[in-house]
Structure 1
Amino acid sequence: MRSLVIVGGGSAGWITAAYLNGALNDRGQNMKVKISLLESPDIPRISVGEATIPSMRHLISVIGIPEVEFMRATDATFKQSIKYCNWAENDGSHYHHPFTSVRERPLDLSGERWLESDRSMRFMDTCAVQPAVCEANLAPIILRKQAVPTTLNYAYHMNAQKFADYLRDFSVARGVEHVQANLVSVATDTEGWIESVSTDRTESLHADMFLDCTGFNGHLISKTLGVGFEDYSQFLLCDRAVTMHLPYERFYPGTVRPYTTATALSNGWAWDIPMQNQRSVGYVHSSQFISEDDAEAELRAYQGKGTEDISVRSVPFKVGRRHQLWKANCVAIGLSGGFIEPLESTGLYLSDLGAVLLAEHWPANKASVQNLADRYNRLMANRYYEILDFINMHYCLTKRTDTAFWREVQKPERINPRLQAKLAMWKTKPPTAHDFEDQWFNGMEAYESLFDFSHIGGRLPIDTGALWNHESYECILYGMGFAPITDQDGASEARPKSRRNQSTERAMNVLNILPDHVDVLSKALGMKAYHKAYQPNGWV
């Protein structure tokens, strides 16, 4: 297939255009596929500060963007972890889900040893240095050549709109055609394949392949091709976010945290994403349990005084995915393909993954499309179900009972059956790598009748652990106070004190080597200096 039209810009559209141009066209040096992107000049973009996961580093590398240039252009900062506050109990407690752990080799017994201890130290503090690095507000890199006891993985916080604009300019300079016009209609042939799209300002755009990056509307995949939507709201109750930006000129808290903060509030949770010039905060909540006005008031209270003139934006969303992300010659990427709330920063990741898999499965001709589409749909569905399990787990393990929302998310009918089966297994043993080799546990029978798997080979999806392996599951389980069956045995002997494993203890010296996060942002990226205002009320 020699030509592609992407309908829709924003992060999803321009990530896909830039990545495919990098992967298929050697960054514009060898144009095998003509790429055109149709973007409306009239439709506003959903723009919030965006937290990413480490796969973003692969994306910008393939596209050909130097890291420093990318970070300067998008007001980016380093992200090493997500700090969860008040999730297990509404008591000021927290735990980190870092990108790097330091496990024992050749046999890792971190979970088992912690469970047998007095648990006086947080689980991740026994097998990772990154929580301590984060709490010390240190960067994950050093600016000079020096040996370090461990390498820390990282991602970024950034301005998503500036990222899209940067990718647009970068891609157009390397051969991607940018068409600024509004979509008017979509023409299909007798087989149901898209032939062309017409606009209000240009001639019709014809191509062999089309990408739907039109957001929740799904103009191509849904309205034209009629692909249905699989709803996850039974297990994820939140359906709205109220957001605002807090400029450092007025609200600089005195540091730039090298991690995302996710703080549980009365009826959902607040993200707190620091960039070089501002923080993006947003309250993801359930409209069944809290009004829009009350959600806004609670978000403002999370920050504290002085936000009365800061405008907020309400973003409704639906959680789930299209039954097929690739049908005929159309692939849905971004919100048009599906969405799961951004508790683990998977928003841009799903666009990133969609682009990566499409490059790997790019069809040579029409005859190969169906086989490749079936495989693509299977792989993407696996990942959506994996994310559903993992996000669902954060909610159902809470012990909070202070509001109806937190009592509701713990009910058995709010827990995905596959997750229930996983949790039942992990009551008897800590998670291990082999749990993701053959994803079948007792109790998964109910899973088969819950979702429609006919479009992914008629088989149950597989959680391969590719996004979150057993180490990440241990992090959330034990951070939330998940108790194994052995806790009920009532052993009377005193438990040994929890401690760091030897590898982690040795790696702790990195705290004496790594520089301050703000210092790195200032020296390497030119971040401005700001006067400290006050620390947000909601910080733990």
Structure 2
Amino acid sequence: MKSIKNVVVVGGGTAGWLAAASLARHLDPLTHHEYTVTLVESPDAPIIGVGEGTWPTMRNTLRNLGIDEFEFIRECDTSFKQGTRFVNWHTRAENGQDASYFHSFELPRGMWPIPPGPYWHHLQKELGLSYAEAISPQPAACMHHLAPKGLDTAQYETVLNYAYHLDAGKFATFLRRHACEKLGVTHLLAHVESVNVSEAGYIESIATKQGEKISGDLFIDCTGFASLLLDKTYHIPFRGVSDTLLVNKAVAMQVPYASEQAPICSPTLSTAQSAGWIWDIGLQTRRGTGYVYSDNHTSPDEAEATLRAYNKEALNKQVVNTNHQAVDVDQLDARQIDLRLGYREKVFHKNCVGMGLSAAFLEPLEASAIFLIEASCNMLTELFPQRMEQLGTLEKKYNAVFTQRWHRVVDFIKLHYFLSRRTDSGFWLDNTDQTTLPDSLKEQLEFWKFYPPTRFDMPSALEPFVRESYEFILYGMEYHADYQWSAGQLPHLENAQANFARIRKLSAEITDVLPSNRALINKIRKMR
């Protein structure tokens, strides 16, 4: 049976270049010349990303690719991300006061010898703190715009767990240079005109408008929403999730800071609106913002007006010095984006694997898009097929794993909407309608009426969201039963009280321990 030696990645962007770099790192074509990794992309393909958020897994991805963290931070307008702050999701703002909670990256297991949830619930009135604030100093660090570590902390190591905010266009350019110069990827700029498939259904080559024929053994479809291979060639059905996740459009806007000294926000800000939510991602030189909305509940013009009003208010709140610049939000460009939420019924077919938007898009609320690309790369490199005869069994396993992941991501995103107590618009009323709730999530919520989340709820090692992530959302949205704990069920109460006191002390001292985001990034930018 034929060996698999030549990999062709069709499409660039974050998905294409992460795939190419990961496969080249694994196959090492610079040393093992029998292998090739070729990336073919259109010279005028648009970048969909508008200021991206990642997960802490990105640190290992970059480290494994041999990337210098400081170079990455300098080249990609990168800032540190320490989770997400959800504003006005549970209830709308009242008397000018926002209601918010954190989904932090610093999980309890890092600072707690015991699961703290039941103990926080038991001591909630005594503590007077939200769940995230009680179990970790990270929310305090975020509120003070602090970095997750100091300059003397080793690259990719932490004081507080972190990921990144980045400029997607600059990130793709950075990965391209690293993949081609350091990992041996061949890069071709060309328009794909046709795909040549064998009688057995395997892709043999692609032909470009420039007259080139590019043969391969394994093809990776990273062509975005166009999905040239999975959709246009193989006609793999797309399963929409619009009956569960109701948003279908976004309007995006890049906003300069009012001052070069303006603080850089550590968490992604996710602020609920009457017909969706606004993301706010702080990079080094600008903020990436956007309103994800349902056009069944508002119009594109109204959505754009809402985003502009939000950015005007945000700029007014920035701490600026006398050299601040006047930012006219009304003159900033806004870009409308159609969101088609769902996933391919199969993302691995014959000798073709879809990654990124060609495989699925499940809305950006928890920044799962880049993580799922990382997960795809990890599985494909770990189980890389040596011979064509392996493809059938790998296809079955790969599709089963990712179908489960799509379902879990949909459930987790829906959790945020369904637990809201907002009744101020049709959007929120529709989102809390039982008919929009997947059966799998409904069963979990029934269980959580009587029990806190447990290790039995997420038995798979491949869960995209761990138990602690569900705890942040459930407790942040005040969905927890009035658990009646016996003494035997809280055997570590004294230790828990001591640990809550320790975390409170750390939170109060955090400004003496960590620099600000901007201060640390400025130091890194000077280290050329």
1:400 aligns with 2:403: no
Higher mean displacement: 116-125 or 132-141: 116-125
1:471 aligns with 2:468: yes
1:483 aligns with 2:490: no
Q: SS at 2:292's partner residue?
A: strand
Match of 1:188 among 197, 206, 212: 197
* Partners of 1:262 and 1:269 within 8 A in 2: yes
Deviation at 1:389, TM superposition (A): 1.0
**Residue equivalent to 2:107:** 101
The alignment-based identity, stated in percent, is 36
Amino acid at match of 2:335: R
Deviation at 1:107, TM superposition (A): 3.3
Return closer, same or farther for 1:109/1:244 CA change in 2, 3 Å cut-off.
closer
1:120 aligns with 2:128: yes
For the residues of structure 2 that align with 1:131 and 1:122, how far apart are their CA atoms?
10
Which 5+ residue runs of structure 2 have no aligned equivalent? Answer: 314-327, 485-496
Written as runs of structure 1 = structure 2, the 5 A alignment for 1:42-441 is 42-91=44-93, 92-102=98-108, 105-115=112-122, 117-118=124-125, 120-144=128-152, 151-173=159-181, 174-248=183-257, 250=258, 254-304=262-312, 306-437=328-459
Deviation at 1:365, TM superposition (A): 0.4
Deviation at 1:32, TM superposition (A): 5.1
**Residue equivalent to 2:322:** none
For the residues of structure 1 that align with 2:191 and 2:164, how far apart are their CA atoms?
32
For the residues of structure 2 that align with 1:70 and 1:145, how far apart are their CA atoms?
16
For the residues of structure 2 that align with 1:524 and 1:472, how far apart are their CA atoms?
31
Q: SS at 2:166's partner residue?
A: strand
TM-score (norm 1): 0.86
For the residues of structure 1 that align with 2:120 and 2:383, how far apart are their CA atoms?
43
Return closer, same or farther for 1:35/1:339 CA change in 2, 3 Å cut-off.
same
Return closer, same or farther for 1:24/1:465 CA change in 2, 3 Å cut-off.
closer
* Partners of 1:2 and 1:32 within 8 A in 2: yes
For the residues of structure 2 that align with 1:30 and 1:514, how far apart are their CA atoms?
45
* Partners of 1:194 and 1:329 within 8 A in 2: yes
**Residue equivalent to 2:14:** 11
Higher mean displacement: 179-188 or 476-485: 476-485
**Residue equivalent to 1:33:** 35
For the residues of structure 2 that align with 1:499 and 1:400, how far apart are their CA atoms?
36
Amino acid at match of 1:21: A
Deviation at 1:500, TM superposition (A): 6.4
Q: SS at 1:139's partner residue?
A: coil
Higher mean displacement: 229-238 or 252-261: 252-261
Return closer, same or farther for 1:171/1:117 CA change in 2, 3 Å cut-off.
closer
- The number of residues matched between the two structures is 489
* Partners of 1:23 and 1:63 within 8 A in 2: no
* Partners of 2:91 and 2:422 within 8 A in 1: yes
Deviation at 1:316, TM superposition (A): 0.6
Amino acid at match of 1:512: D
Return closer, same or farther for 1:145/1:465 CA change in 2, 3 Å cut-off.
closer
Amino acid at match of 1:380: F
Return closer, same or farther for 1:371/1:124 CA change in 2, 3 Å cut-off.
same
Amino acid at match of 1:224: T
Amino acid at match of 2:6: S
For the residues of structure 1 that align with 2:200 and 2:502, how far apart are their CA atoms?
60
For the residues of structure 2 that align with 1:198 and 1:507, how far apart are their CA atoms?
60
Return closer, same or farther for 1:372/1:179 CA change in 2, 3 Å cut-off.
same
Return closer, same or farther for 1:503/1:472 CA change in 2, 3 Å cut-off.
farther
Q: SS at 2:199's partner residue?
A: coil
Return closer, same or farther for 1:465/1:511 CA change in 2, 3 Å cut-off.
farther
For the residues of structure 2 that align with 1:341 and 1:197, how far apart are their CA atoms?
31
* Partners of 1:329 and 1:369 within 8 A in 2: yes
**Residue equivalent to 2:316:** none
* Partners of 2:11 and 2:42 within 8 A in 1: yes
Tell me the C-alpha RMSD between the 2 structures.
Answer: 2.3
Deviation at 1:503, TM superposition (A): 4.9
* Partners of 2:236 and 2:345 within 8 A in 1: yes
For the residues of structure 2 that align with 1:18 and 1:423, how far apart are their CA atoms?
40
**Residue equivalent to 1:513:** 513
Which 5+ residue runs of structure 1 have no aligned equivalent? Answer: 438-462, 488-497, 528-540
Amino acid at match of 2:190: A
Q: SS at 2:522's partner residue?
A: helix
Deviation at 1:141, TM superposition (A): 0.9
Return closer, same or farther for 1:317/1:253 CA change in 2, 3 Å cut-off.
farther
**Residue equivalent to 1:501:** 500
For the residues of structure 2 that align with 1:19 and 1:129, how far apart are their CA atoms?
34
For the residues of structure 1 that align with 2:502 and 2:385, how far apart are their CA atoms?
46
Q: SS at 1:434's partner residue?
A: coil
Return closer, same or farther for 1:367/1:145 CA change in 2, 3 Å cut-off.
closer
1:23 aligns with 2:22: no
Q: SS at 2:396's partner residue?
A: helix
For the residues of structure 2 that align with 1:81 and 1:375, how far apart are their CA atoms?
31
For the residues of structure 1 that align with 2:205 and 2:107, how far apart are their CA atoms?
49
Deviation at 1:229, TM superposition (A): 1.1
Query: What do residues 200-259 of structure 1 show as CA deviations (whole Å, max 9, x unaligned)?
Result: 1142111001111111121101111121111111110011110010123x5768210111
For the residues of structure 1 that align with 2:385 and 2:248, how far apart are their CA atoms?
36
Return closer, same or farther for 1:214/1:465 CA change in 2, 3 Å cut-off.
closer
For the residues of structure 2 that align with 1:434 and 1:409, how far apart are their CA atoms?
27
Deviation at 1:467, TM superposition (A): 2.9
Amino acid at match of 2:36: K
For the residues of structure 2 that align with 1:253 and 1:523, how far apart are their CA atoms?
13
Amino acid at match of 2:420: T
* Partners of 2:448 and 2:480 within 8 A in 1: no
Deviation at 1:112, TM superposition (A): 4.5
Deviation at 1:433, TM superposition (A): 1.5
Q: SS at 1:343's partner residue?
A: coil
Deviation at 1:470, TM superposition (A): 1.6
For the residues of structure 2 that align with 1:353 and 1:337, how far apart are their CA atoms?
13
* Partners of 1:21 and 1:63 within 8 A in 2: no
For the residues of structure 2 that align with 1:371 and 1:51, how far apart are their CA atoms?
34
